[in-house]
């Protein structure tokens, strides 16, 4: 039984970080003319209605997308993300928030395709109904890390894999490392974006050391937190490891996070960074 439902968290500061990075990675892949495949291992329901009582329970979006979406001073690399969020809310009232599937779908070009996996049956059914008439999208109601075995390497030989686990099972960090090693062995040139929450610092460091020890090279680490490291309350921040980021992404990520952190961390806590966990 999966307890995690993303609607409680949709549009929060971690989503803004994750989705802004995701949009930029997709734009980076789209720079080359040849088609690519986007693979989303933990897809959720695709898009979120922020007027739903679950979204309002803690109203996390108020300290996330609500602070950002109408800003006119965001640096250019933010445009693909902010433009899509605005397109979801054309009347200027923030109600709908695109999850990774809808955001990615809006950034695919004709000829590109995407594969979505979601283990929660109810959520997967919603995802399926959203895309059932869209030949570009394959929806799999299964374990997302298992589905990588079936879908990598993609026939296009170009692709981005987003791994956005809900971390609601013990041993998840170890599973992620194992899945990354296996996926990278199948598809070494793929771009991989692995999101993770910053909770217990020791667990985070152990995960990163394990990724380092795999021998996989060209791993960029981006982080954005809005609370200090000793914070033990709600989520203090999150990070993303990006394997094989597209050319120019490192600079763009620096620019984006330098702008985003003071907007989201109003109290001036936490911080942001972009650095190589493993260089080329």
Ligand X SMILES: C[S@@+](CC[C@H](N)C(=O)[O-])C[C@H]1O[C@@H](n2cnc3c(N)ncnc32)[C@H](O)[C@@H]1O
Q: Is 164 a catalytic residue?
A: yes
Nearer to ligand X, 143 or 182 (CB): 143
- State which residue has the least CB distance to ligand X: 99
Nearer to ligand X, 125 or 217 (CB): 125
Tokens of 146: 């298992």
Q: How far is the CB of 102 from ligand X (least distance, A)?
A: 8
SS3 240: strand
Q: How far is the CB of 51 from ligand X (least distance, A)?
A: 17
Closer to ligand X by CB, 9 or 113: give it: 9
* Helix H or strand E segment including 140: strand 137-140
Catalytic residue among 112, 123, 164, 182: 164
Measured distance CA(88)–CA(107) in Å, rounded: 13
Minimal distance in Å, beta carbon 73 to ligand X?
Answer: 25
Token output for 254: 């620096």
Asked if 23 and 68 count as a contact pair (C-beta separation under 8 A), the reply is no
Reported as type and span, the H/E element at residue 173 is: helix 172-186
155: DSSP letter:
T
Closest CA to 142 of 42, 4, 3: 42
Identity of the residue, 104 or 278, whose beta carbon is nearer to ligand X in the bound complex? 104
155 phi, psi to nearest 5 deg: -65, -25
Residues that bind ligand X (CB under 6 A): 2, 4, 6, 41-44, 99-100, 117-120, 123, 143-144, 164, 166
Residue 133 CB, shortest distance to ligand X, in Å, is: 21
* Active site positions, annotated: 164
């Amino acid at each position: 039984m999966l307890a995690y439902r993303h609607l409680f968290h949709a549009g929060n500061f971690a989503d803004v970080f994750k989705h802004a990075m995701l949009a930029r990675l997709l734009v980076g892949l789209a720079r080359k003319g040849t088609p690519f495949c986007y693979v989303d291992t933990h897809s959720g329901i695709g898009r979120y209605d922020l007027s739903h009582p679950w979204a309002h329970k803690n109203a996390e979006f108020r300290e996330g997308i609500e602070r950002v979406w109408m800003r006119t001073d965001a640096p250019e690399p933010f445009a693909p993300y902010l433009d899509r969020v605005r397109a979801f809310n054309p009347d200027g009232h923030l109600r709908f928030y695109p999850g990774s599937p809808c955001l990615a779908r809006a950034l695919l070009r004709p000829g590109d395709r995407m594969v979505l996996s979601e283990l929660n049956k109810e959520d997967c059914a919603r995802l399926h109904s959203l895309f059932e008439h869209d030949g570009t999208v394959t929806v799999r109601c299964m374990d997302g890390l298992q589905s990588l075995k079936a879908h990598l390497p993609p026939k296009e030989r170009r692709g981005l894999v987003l791994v956005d686990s809900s971390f609601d099972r013990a041993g998840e960090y170890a599973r992620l490392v194992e899945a990354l090693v296996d996926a990278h062995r199948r598809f070494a040139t793929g771009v991989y974006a692995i999101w993770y929450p910053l909770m217990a610092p020791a667990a985070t460091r152990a995960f990163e050391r394990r990724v380092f020890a795999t021998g996989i090279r060209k791993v960029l680490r981006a982080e954005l937190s809005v609370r200090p490291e000793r914070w033990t309350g709600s989520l203090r921040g999150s990070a993303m490891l990006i394997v094989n980021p597209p050319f120019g992404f490192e600079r763009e990520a620096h620019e984006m996070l330098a702008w985003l952190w003071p907007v989201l961390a109003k109290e001036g806590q936490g911080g942001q960074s972009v650095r190589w966990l493993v260089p080329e």
